[in-house]
A and B are shown apart, each in its own frame.
Chain A
């Protein structure tokens, strides 16, 4: 339980930090939104107040226009002076309505607008319209009203003071709103900057935390992995932490421990193998060499035995000695082949550019006796030059051609040697029309001392193909056979093409004539 808790600590921390950062940012954002919204509201209210001021100004202007127009009309009797009065009389109700709509948010201003509306009604009903009627009858009557009892002016003055109170309050509203808008702008900027700072701080802190507690340990492990890959298996990382990265470090150390352990074991068994191999080869060559001497001695004694006592039992004596001699020579051949096999594929290859045609010629020359004896016909196709050990390659061809001639069955052997290029290597084939073999036997024939036939039918120790396999493998190629019983065999082997090998020492081979 505790272990599980400790293991999830980084995840928990990351989640906790993310949540805290999100909460902080969210809070800053909410403040910002509130501030901006408030500012917008304040600006809207201020704008509304401006409109209210304008509407009130128009209304007041209408009243003053009416009063002045009436005075002018009464004084002069000129009807045209009534035109602006009539315009104002037509317009004032709309202006009044508009003003009332614009101050709906402020009960005090609403009350003022009602008062003003009442004053205007009184002014019009109790002064302006009576004056117009009087003047229409006799301008002098109206004129005397302006001179002796100018109530209209007093009413207008009263309305002006009512308007002034309205303006004053509306302006103070605007001022207040503007102040508030400015304050809120400042808040908004503050919250914005604060939020930005917060974001930067959180990001920096988070990055540093990640770096300190995750990236650095991971890099340490990665670096250590690189060192291990480079072979420094003793590399270990500190694993004191109690979280996921601690687990990683511990696993890494465990892995390094196990790697180091297996490598040590491998090295040990490798050395062991090398030593026992060398001993074995030593044993084989010493043994085969040492075995030669007693065999020679045995055949010498058999000779002596025949010469001295051959006459004592002329019937069976020579035959017994012959048996001894035959067995001895067979043992000698076995020992020779064993020696050859143990040497094949060992030692250094003397690689040179070898024209395969020449090598085949040499092999055929060495096999002249058996070829002539069997009456075989050998066909050699065009052959390339490869980079190989000449002696070894010659031994491969001798073995393969020799086998083709040897396992020929009833008819006279037809042997064909060809080569085909194939993706960076040459594929050589030695085919015959001999007895062939079962496909399931085709793997077994490359193992040492494996024979498909009795010694009486086809002489030989069964080491040839095993030697060939070793040599081709040492050259980096493969050897296989495709055959069916009674239908002849085709032995294939590959060798790296000389062009591909030339790639390595292009500068020296560049000017050599192609296909030399």
Chain B
């Protein structure tokens, strides 16, 4: 009697756990590759849209190749996420190369071009027991935009052109005020003293701009809002804003234990990620309110037939 009750209980527990633990991550995986073994690949992401999408892209692609994946999304800033890697809580996460150098490696001097930046970042990671996989074609740089009409009226092509204006209001997140990739760099490199920051919470800058309440806004070059040409991107010839291509930071231990198939799969995904592709996917999530997962699955299906 007791034995039977225990068995029933065990079955119930198993069912309950199965039902609870499944989540969305499992369903796609089970349809593709049944043979999963070994320790899971623990992918982390920072906590904003593009990172959520990147996390899902890598996860789906890896699961399609038979890897077991744990996606830990929304970890936080680069510093926290990188420290989580250092603490052994993660095997990889997609990071922005220049941001890695400035915020994590605390390099004060910016490399002269993206290639050098990638080399420096990879060297830094290798000192920490990690490495960088191939970087993406797209880069997610900070940038300044104005409305196209405003650009035409003032004949604005680059940030330097803003100097001609008497006063320029700029919608930007709070930290913009005190960063080199913000007012400090702009003042230093372009001598812009006429900028007036209006503090907003991202993505509030677009609506301010649309409503005409500000003249310009700080954006990211992969923002979905930019894909239809509603905003004019100002060039940055003096390179205040770093390029910030994305490269997955990955532990070498994970690479060793999972073999070449792991890096090959991740690199294959990274290669597909152009700026327009990233903009489209960001738009799908931020504007069309689809889930990162849906968007990632759809993208992978359209590009290379997987997952």
List chain A positions with a Cβ less than 8 A from chain B: 107-108, 110-111, 114-115, 122, 125-127, 129-131, 133-134, 141, 145, 148-149, 151-152
Contact = CB atoms under 8 A, between A and B. Distances in A.
A115 B20 CA distance: 9
A125 B89 contact: yes
A133 B83 contact: yes
Contact of A133 (B15, B16, B74, B87): B87
A107 B12 contact: yes
A131 B80 CA distance: 7
Given A133-B87, A148-B175, A127 B16 contact: no
A460 B149 CA distance: 190
Given A149-B80, A151-B76, 16 more contacts: A126-B44, A126-B80, A126-B84, A127-B76, A127-B84, A129-B87, A129-B89, A130-B79, A130-B81, A130-B83, A131-B80, A141-B79, A145-B79, A145-B80, A148-B175, A149-B47
B84 A125 contact: yes
Nearest to B87: A129
Contacts, number: 76
B86 interface: yes
A145 B83 CA distance: 12
A130 B175 contact: no
A-B pairs, 6 with minimum CB distance = A125-B89, A130-B83, A151-B76, A107-B16, A107-B13, A111-B20
A149 B77 CA distance: 7
A130 B80 contact: yes
A102 B294 CA distance: 40
A108 B84 CA distance: 30
B13 A130 contact: no
26 contacts: A110-B13, A111-B16, A111-B21, A114-B20, A122-B89, A125-B90, A126-B72, A126-B75, A126-B80, A126-B81, A127-B75, A129-B83, A130-B79, A131-B80, A131-B83, A133-B87, A134-B79, A145-B79, A148-B77, A148-B174, A148-B175, A149-B80, A151-B75, A151-B76, A151-B80, A152-B76
Contact of A107 (B9, B82, B87, B175): B9
A114 B74 CA distance: 20
A318 to B, nearest CB: 135
B142 to A, nearest CB: 16
Nearest to B19: A111
Nearest to A141: B79
A149 B9 CA distance: 43
Nearest to A115: B20
B260 interface: no
A115 B22 CA distance: 12
Contacts of B47: 149, 151
Contacts of B90: 125-126
B2 interface: no
* Most chain A CB inside 10 Å of its own CB: which residue of B16, B77, B80: B80
A223 B82 CA distance: 111
A99 to B, nearest CB: 16
Nearest to B175: A148
Interface in B57-94: 72, 74-77, 79-84, 86-90
A188 to B, nearest CB: 24
A141 B83 CA distance: 12
Interface in B3-56: 9, 12-13, 15-17, 20-21, 44, 47
A145 B79 CA distance: 8
Contacts of B72: 122, 126
Interface in B210-264: none
A125 B20 contact: no
Contacts of A129: 83-84, 87, 89
A111 B20 CA distance: 7
A41 to B, nearest CB: 14
Nearest to A133: B83
A122 B174 CA distance: 28
A158 to B, nearest CB: 11
B296 to A, nearest CB: 21
A148 B201 CA distance: 11
A509 B17 CA distance: 116
B93 to A, nearest CB: 10
A425 to B, nearest CB: 89
A130 B90 CA distance: 12
A514 to B, nearest CB: 97
Nearest to B48: A149
